[in-house]
Amino acid sequence: MPQGRKKVPFSGKAKKEQLKTKRNKKQGSSQNYLVKPHNSDGDDSDDGKVQKVNAQPGRSGRNVNRYNLKFYRETDAEIKERKELAMKSLEMHNDLEINVHDYFPEDFDFPKRPSWNFDMSREALDARENRYFTEYVTELDNKYGWKEMSFFELNLETWRQLWRVLEMSDVILIIVDIRFPALMFPPSLYNYVTKTLNKQMILVMNKIDLAPTPLVVAWRNYFIKNYPQLKVVLFTTLPQYNLVGKLSDKAGLQIRHKKGKVRMATEGTKLLLEACKEIVEDQVDLRSWEEKIKEESTYTTDDVSELIVEETIETKSVDTQFYQHERFNNGILTIGCVGQPNVGKSSVMNAIMGKKVVSVSKTPGHTKHFQTIFLTPNVRLCDCPGLVFPSKVPKVLQIIMGSFPIAQLREPFTTIKYLAERMDMPKLLRIAHPENDDTWSAMDVCDGWAKRCGYVTARSGRLDSYRAANSLLRMTLDGKICLCLTPPNYESEKDVWEKHEDVEMVNWIKAIVDDDDDKKQDRPLEKVAESCSDEDAFKDSDEERDEYDDDSSDGEQVLASNKFSALNDAN
């Protein structure tokens, strides 16, 4: 330091501002894309208002945080209040029926691209979109308030990805989890696609292996009845011929174990192809896709996601800022894939792609993370990032659904309380009360599971309740603890759904065989508890896979005999 200059220490606020300036320089223009929600106090700072999810350190010349998720951040007082609720006694509920109007009011809409024309510059369009999105978020905040709304995507750049998919696709494929389908299907998107864009929409209800067959049938008919222009396709990437052992233990915990060699699950893809045939009629030749599915229906592998790129299709390096849709352009069917995070969109797309694709190419220009995947020379998929739409879905349900990242939770116990008040968690997990009491709270459930799994804090050696809660939430997301919401009047009409003609189709997709308990193995809960102490708590180890692998079957089992087996014979 030069002579005569006195070092003045930074105040906490000044140091914070200096670090923020350095970070902004590294991250480039990310502030243009990360829109702040309105603050009635006039403070536009992110502190205390917005939680940035999975933010990465800036790299020289790269804006790595351009597509990061952002959500409203809860206050410390709200967190403290919820922790206190988690220590109160559980009150059992049975309110699993869903009325979609409670979560998606008629005046609830999602952000849409503002009007534009080809004469506008990119800078002018960016400015218009930023202004529109800021006004959209501010209006929602003023009308409902953050406490009443769900956590939804606040990153404008992610919404731009959706706009591109909607613009360039002939058919919109929206993927939902069968356990919470109505909460993942915004009616505003259906109305916009079918009425404004005049395009076809297909609903893929994924993970149907996790739900009872009558419930799958009930949800399918619910959507067909309430959304008449919607085509509904059922899907699972884990039919029973790819599993070994019983599907649940005696207490009801879902224990599904993959075989060492799995067969390509094509049942759902065949139904998707049939739905697309009805839409395109004779305007697109889908025989190459049909042949592809036929070839891969008997394919077995250790990794169902491996791809063989047979041919690369070169795409022009053009400005993709604007796109004017032309239906089935050049005889190509373009299918846009949309869905919330953790609905299994990647696994569905992998199953649709199978082992062969013509090409995988990134579309250049304005949306540089936008991907187009050519299944055949005249069928392509357009992938959109997982996107949470505005709604009034409570946070606890968003956590269970996987819409809000579990790793970002500051307080997981109220979500455990929601589960424990609707499922017999002590019986399901076979845990003893940590204090030998008869009355359970959500915190007791977490402590009981921590004791069973051996979770203790490093310094004090106390039961690690937080780690146990996160473990249980990941088990729920993974389907081991399986909570399924139901459509209105499901329990009173259950007999109707058990005898419905769609039962045959659902069983064909699941590949259900005779449930002979004597021939199936029950994987004990102790193995689940042991695996909880691993860093990756919910992936089966190689040793367990070898223990349950049945090499002699080679992934083949006899399917339940029904009329849908003809689809297998035909292909």
Write down the pLDDT at residue 54: 54
Write down the pLDDT at residue 43: 35
At 303, the pLDDT band (50, 70, 90 cuts) reads: low
Residue 424 tokens, joined: 């017999």
At 55, the pLDDT band (50, 70, 90 cuts) reads: low
**pLDDT tens column, 256-290:** 778 877 788 889 999 999 999 999 998 999 999 99
* 33-37, 334-338, 358-362: range with lowest mean pLDDT: 33-37
Tally the residues of the chain. Answer: 571
Whether residue 30 has pLDDT greater than 70: no
Whether residue 72 has pLDDT greater than 80: no
Work out the average pLDDT over 176-200: 95
The identity of residue 335, as a single letter, is I
CB contact set of 319 (below 8 Å; sequence gap of 6+): 122, 365, 366
CA distance 420 to 91: 9
- Counting Cα atoms < 13 Å in the Cβ hemisphere of 347 gives 18
At 310, the pLDDT band (50, 70, 90 cuts) reads: low
CA distance 285 to 120: 37
Work out the average pLDDT over 380-393: 90
Write down the pLDDT at residue 544: 34
CB 556 within 8 A of CB 264: no
Count the neighbouring beta carbons within 10 Å of the beta carbon of residue 87.
12
Whether residue 314 has pLDDT greater than 90: no
Rg (CA), the chain: 25
Q: Is 359 helix (H, G, I), strand (E, B) or coil?
A: strand
Residue owning tokens 């499922």: 423
Residue 525 tokens, joined: 């809960």
Q: Report the candidate in 110, 112, 109 with the shortest Cα–Cα distance to residue 163.
A: 112
At 324, the pLDDT band (50, 70, 90 cuts) reads: low
At 142, the pLDDT band (50, 70, 90 cuts) reads: confident
Work out the average pLDDT over 162-176: 94
Write down the pLDDT at residue 46: 44
Write down the pLDDT at residue 13: 53
How is the chain split into domains, by residue range? Answer: 80-571
Q: Is 402 helix (H, G, I), strand (E, B) or coil?
A: coil
Count the neighbouring beta carbons within 10 Å of the beta carbon of residue 184.
26
Write down the pLDDT at residue 125: 87
Whether residue 458 has pLDDT greater than 80: yes
Count the neighbouring beta carbons within 10 Å of the beta carbon of residue 134.
15
Whether residue 315 has pLDDT greater than 70: no
Beta-strand runs (E) in 54-197: 69-72, 171-177
Could you tell me what percent of the chain has a pLDDT over 70? 70
Q: Report the candidate in 169, 379, 372 with the shortest Cα–Cα distance to residue 290.
A: 379
Q: Report the candidate in 18, 27, 140 with the shortest Cα–Cα distance to residue 391.
A: 140
pTM over 0.85: no
Count the neighbouring beta carbons within 10 Å of the beta carbon of residue 167.
16
* 13-22, 327-336, 388-397, 552-561: range with lowest mean pLDDT: 552-561
Name residue 409's beta-bridge partners.
none
